Amino acid sequence: MNATPKNPTPVPRAEIVKLEGVGRSYGAGDLSVHALRGVDLAVRSGELAALAGPSGSGKSTLLNLVAVLDRPTVGRVVVDGVDTGTLSPAGTSRLRRDRIGFVFQTYNLIPVLTAFENAEYVLMLQGRPAAERRERVMAVLEVVGLAGLERRFPRELSGGQQQRVAIARAIAAEPALVLADEPTANLDTRTAGALLDLMVGLNEDKGVTFLFSTHDPEVMSRARRVVRLRDGVVEADEVRAPAARARS
């Protein structure tokens, strides 16, 4: 907890995530479900990549593997240069804490903490001094547009506001990678659009790397890179010009 995190890797375009022949199946025998089969994928630092695909195509499974919440049945998952298969439980916690930010579909804020404290949580885990935490969290909450709501508890915030807190929490510690599993699925279109603006802005202005999943074509269209999954395999991986930012 008292280890100071390494500075973000200055080398541009480093492969922050690398999946090699990754498969994940549940159950055994005839009844086994193959959530992922033979996925190869690399995400570089600075990317804003969308994982697209219908429900059940394996998006959550893939993100969970990257966050080391789950382990592949076959293949290797390398995050930030570390083979996740070799990580100890403590190393896993450290990786999640220092290198990865996670945004969930259902926000999953810690209900007993205020917006400020939620955003501060990972910094606290890292053992940063209070003054630094305060400065960073205030800045981040400002960025996600929640200035003034710091003292609210999650239940006092709307869905969109809660998800903004979740993003603040994910980026406050300046992780190498932010994973987001259908971050907009529980939001109405307008709020979803605004949230996406926020992510795109963070990516462009601050260079935050995003890997997020979605099954919403509208949302997909905002990403520079779209990786399409179907039945656990990568069906397409396209890089294209991003749509213009809706609002600046």
Partner 1 sequence: MNAVLKLAWRSLWRNRRRTLITLTSIALGLALTIFMASLGAGVYRQASEGAVRMQAGHLVVEHPEFRHDPSPAHALAATEVVAAARGLPGVETVRPLVVGQAVVATAAGSVGVGVMGVEPEAEIGASPFPERVVLGRYLEEGDVRGAVVGTALARRLKLEPGKKAVLTTTDARGEMTSELLKVVGVFQTGSEESDVFLVQVPIGLARRAWGLPEGAASQVGVILGDPDDLPGVAAALSGRVDPGVAAVRTWREAIPKVAAWIELDTRANRLLRVFVIFLVGSTILNTILMSVLERGREFAVCLALGTPPRMLRAQVLAETLLLAALGTMAGAALGAAVSGWVQAHGIDLSLFLSREEGASGVTVGGFMISPVLRCWLTPEQVGAHTLLVFGLTVGIGLYPTWRSTAVPVADLLRTR
Ligand X SMILES: Nc1ncnc2c1ncn2[C@@H]1O[C@H](COP(=O)(O)OP(=O)(O)O)[C@@H](O)[C@H]1O
Q: Site residues (CB under 8 A) for partner 1?
A: 1, 60, 64, 67, 69-70, 89-90, 93-98, 100, 102, 104, 106, 108, 110-113, 121-122, 124-125, 169
Choose which of 16, 17, 22, 35 interacts with ligand X (CB under 6 A).
35
Distance CA 148, CA 139 (A): 12
Binding of Mg ion by 60 (CB under 5 A): yes
- In the bound complex, what is the minimum distance in angstroms from residue 222's beta carbon to Mg ion? 19
C-alpha–C-alpha distance, residues 201 and 199, integer Å: 5
Q: Which of Mg ion, partner 1, ligand X, none interacts with 25 (beta carbon under 5 to 8 A by kind)?
A: none
3-state secondary structure of 161: helix
Residue 64 or 191 with smaller CB distance to partner 1: 64
Within residues 3-32, the interface with ligand X by CB under 6 A covers 26-27
Count of residues in contact with Mg ion, rule CB under 5 A: 1
Least separation in angstroms between residue 52's CB and ligand X is 9
Interface with Mg ion, residue 57, by CB under 5 A = no
In sequence order, what are the beta bridge partners of 23? 74
Q: Determine the residue type at 170.
A: A
Length of the chain, in residues: 248
Q: Tell me the per-residue interface mask from 42 to 71 with ligand X, x by CB under 6 A, - otherwise.
A: -----------x-xxxxxxx----------
Whole-angstrom Cα distance, residue 136 to residue 172? 7
Q: Does 183 bind ligand X (CB under 6 A)?
A: no
Q: What is the rounded CA–CA span in Å between residue 88 and residue 127?
A: 20
- DSSP code, position 226: E
Q: Which is nearer to ligand X, 23 or 242 (CB)?
A: 23
What are the C-alpha distances in Å from 126 to residues 2, 92, 93, 109, 129? 6, 14, 11, 18, 9
